[in-house]
Amino acid sequence: MGRKKFVYDWPRPALTVDIALFTVTGTLQNLKLQVLLIERGEEPFAGHWALPGGFVGEDEDLNAAAARELKEETGVAEATVEQVGAIGTPGRDPRGHVVTILYAGLTPGDRHQLVATGDARNVRWFTVGGTEPLPPLAFDHAELLKKALAHLRHRLREAPICFNLLPERFTLSELQKLIETLLGREIDRRNFRRRIHQLGFLEPAEGVRLEGRHRPAQLYRFNPVRFEAYLREERALPF
């Protein structure tokens, strides 16, 4: 016996997913936070830049829809993203009442080959918070981007997401510059080093690395087991 379907005489909003995928690029002294945007190839907002995303299929899982849309429009596969929240402000989409599920993630940008397909005419990384502003974004995606970035910065304090962007062995300067770039603000160098040593989830690694004219810097390795133990006790990193 087939599954009974219930149909009610009641307006039903459409459901979409939008994905804000971030990365960090550049040299140690000039790191840049970037977000992945697509140029829309269809109306509404044809020719405008936007977050990757699209409509959720019938009986499609939300996470599966986010992964599908990201791959279809940008070529990016196997990027870890998580739900930020649902946004359903009336009038946010000229096609009707559309509720979107916003996702955010952080990935090594050089790991992915970008390919614009599907509804996307073009795809590229844009610098966030640089000297040049982002282009005008379609729909309410400027607000979605702010929400996603705030979520990312909050998650930085309670999940090891930034260590995915570092090599297996790294210096404290590399870690500090990366965290500063993600947070969008500077951290006192002396306090950072003192506190990071107290946290206990970094362990010395073999070798040193030259950083400019300074003496060779000690290399460290991230210990995920100790990190989880720290979070169980402290709940959040002091950044």
Beta-carbon count within 10 A of 116 CB: 18
Is omega for the bond preceding 44 within 30 degrees of 0, making it cis?
yes
Q: How many CA atoms lie within 13 A of 68 on its CB side?
A: 12
Beta-carbon count within 10 A of 34 CB: 21
Angle (nearest 5°) at CA 43 between 41 and 46: 45
Residues of the chain with CATH 1.10.10.10: 161-234
Residue 235, pLDDT > 80, answer no
23-58 pLDDT, tens per residue?
A: 999 988 899 999 999 999 999 999 999 999 999 999
Architecture of the domain made up of 161-234: Orthogonal Bundle (1.10)
Tokens of 186: 């500077």
- % of the chain residues with pLDDT over 90: 72
Task: Tell me the pLDDT band of 10, cut-offs 50, 70 and 90.
Answer: confident
What is the reported pLDDT for 1? 52
The pTM (predicted TM-score) of the whole model is: 0.92
Task: Tell me the pLDDT band of 114, cut-offs 50, 70 and 90.
Answer: very high
Q: Which amino acid makes up residue 137? A: L
Nearest to 199 by CA among 170, 169, 232, 173: 232
Query: Could you tell me how many residues make up the chain?
Result: 239
The H or E element that residue 83 is part of is strand 81-87
Angle (nearest 5°) at CA 58 between 43 and 45: 10
What is the reported pLDDT for 213? 67
Q: What's the topology of domain 14-133? A: Nucleoside Triphosphate Pyrophosphohydrolase (3.90.79)
Mean pLDDT of the chain: 92
Residues of the chain with CATH 3.90.79.10: 14-133
Cβ contact 73:117 at 8 Å: yes
